[in-house]
Structure 1
Amino acid sequence: MELLGYRRSNGQVGIRNHVLILPTITCAAQTAQRITELVDGTVTFIHQHGCAQVGVDYEQTFRTYVGMGSNPNVYGVIVLGLGCETHQANRIAEKIKETGKPVEMVSIQEEGSTLDAIAQGAKMAVKMVQEASRQKRVPFDFSDLIVGTECGGSDACSGLSANPAVGEVSDMIVDRGGTAILAETTELIGAEHLLAARAVDDRVAKRVYEVIEAMENRSIQMGVDIRTGNPSPGNIQGGLSTLEEKSLGAAKKAGSRPLQELVHYAEPPTKKGLVWMDTPGHDIEQLTGMVAGGAQIVLFTSGRGTPTGSPIAPTIKISTNTSMFERMYDNMDINAGTIIDGKETPKEVAKRILEEIAEVCSGKKTKAEILKQHDFGIWRIGPTF
Structure 2
Amino acid sequence: MEKCLAYYRKKRRVYGVRNHVLIIPTTFCVNNVAYQIWSFFAEERWGDYEENRVVLALHDAGCCHVGFDREIAFRTFLGVASNPNVYGVLLVSLGCGQFCKPPLKPGEDKKTNLMNFKLYDRLVKRGVPVKWVNVQEVGFSRAVEIGVKHVEAMVKEARKLERTGCPLSKIVIGVGNGASDPTSGLFANPAVGYLVDYFIEKGGTVVFTQSTEVLGAEEYLFSKVKREKTRLKLKRLLETLIVFKEGLEEYLGISDPTPGNIESGISTLAEKSLGTVLKIGHSKDIEIKDVLSYAEKIPRNGGLYFMDGPGEDLLAITGMVAGGAQAVIFTTGLGTPIGSVVAPVIKVTANKETYTKLNEIIDVYIPVEKLFEESKSLQEIAIDVLWDYLLRVLSGEPVKAEKRGQMDFGVREYWMKM
TM-score in terms of structure 2 length: 0.88
CA deviation string 1:178-218 (max 9, x = no partner): 11111110100111221112113111112112112222222
Task: Give the secondary structure class of the aligned counterpart of 1:72.
Answer: coil
Please give the alpha-carbon distance, in whole angstroms, between the structure 2 residues aligned to 1:367 and 1:119.
32
Deviation at 1:53, TM superposition (A): 0.6
Please give the alpha-carbon distance, in whole angstroms, between the structure 1 residues aligned to 2:321 and 2:189.
20
Deviation at 1:120, TM superposition (A): 0.5
Among 66, 71, 83, the alignment partner of 2:83 is 71
Structure of greater Rg: 2
Q: Does 1:172 align with 2:173?
A: no
Q: Counterpart in 2 of 1:82?
A: 94
Among 392, 397, 413, the alignment partner of 1:359 is 392
Aligned length: 384
Task: Give the secondary structure class of the aligned counterpart of 2:185.
Answer: coil
Among 9, 14, 20, the alignment partner of 1:18 is 20
CA deviation string 1:297-338 (max 9, x = no partner): 000100000000011000101012111111100001100143
Q: Counterpart in 1 of 2:109?
A: none
CA deviation string 1:108-146 (max 9, x = no partner): 1112x2211111100000000010000010001111110
Q: Counterpart in 2 of 1:262?
A: 291
Please give the alpha-carbon distance, in whole angstroms, between the structure 1 residues aligned to 2:80 and 2:398.
20
- Structure 1 stretches (4+) deviating beyond 3 angstroms? 223-230, 339-345
Among 104, 108, 114, the alignment partner of 2:135 is 108
What code does the residue aligned with 2:8 have?
R
Please give the alpha-carbon distance, in whole angstroms, between the structure 2 residues aligned to 1:322 and 1:45.
33
Q: Does 1:121 align with 2:127?
A: no
Q: Counterpart in 1 of 2:413?
A: 380
CA deviation string 1:142-173 (max 9, x = no partner): 11110000010111111111101111111112
Q: 1:220 to 1:121 in 2, by over 3 A?
A: same
Q: 1:224 to 1:209 in 2, by over 3 A?
A: farther
Q: Spell out the pairing of 1:1-385 with structure 2 (5 A cutoff).
A: 1-8=2-9, 9-39=11-41, 40=44, 41-90=53-102, 91-111=118-138, 113-224=139-250, 230-255=256-281, 256=283, 257-270=286-299, 271-338=301-368, 342-343=372-373, 344-351=376-383, 352-385=385-418
Q: 1:96 to 1:342 in 2, by over 3 A?
A: farther
CA contact (8 A) 1:319 1:337 kept: no
Q: 1:201 to 1:32 in 2, by over 3 A?
A: same
Please give the alpha-carbon distance, in whole angstroms, between the structure 1 residues aligned to 2:97 and 2:181.
42
Please give the alpha-carbon distance, in whole angstroms, between the structure 1 residues aligned to 2:251 and 2:344.
35
Q: 1:345 to 1:29 in 2, by over 3 A?
A: farther
Please give the alpha-carbon distance, in whole angstroms, between the structure 2 residues aligned to 1:163 and 1:155.
11
Q: 1:89 to 1:366 in 2, by over 3 A?
A: farther
Deviation at 1:52, TM superposition (A): 0.5
Q: 1:105 to 1:168 in 2, by over 3 A?
A: same
CA contact (8 A) 2:368 2:378 kept: no
Report the more deviating stretch, 248-257 or 36-45: 36-45
Task: Give the secondary structure class of the aligned counterpart of 1:180.
Answer: strand
Could you tell me which runs of 5 or more consecutive residues in structure 2 were left unpaired when the two chains were aligned. Answer: 45-52, 103-117
Please give the alpha-carbon distance, in whole angstroms, between the structure 1 residues aligned to 2:369 and 2:32.
44
Please give the alpha-carbon distance, in whole angstroms, between the structure 2 residues aligned to 1:195 and 1:318.
23
Report the more deviating stretch, 262-271 or 19-28: 262-271
Report the more deviating stretch, 339-348 or 38-47: 339-348
Task: Give the secondary structure class of the aligned counterpart of 2:131.
Answer: strand
Deviation at 1:348, TM superposition (A): 2.5
Deviation at 1:69, TM superposition (A): 0.7
Deviation at 1:340, TM superposition (A): 7.8
CA contact (8 A) 2:24 2:58 kept: no
CA contact (8 A) 2:224 2:287 kept: yes
Deviation at 1:263, TM superposition (A): 0.4
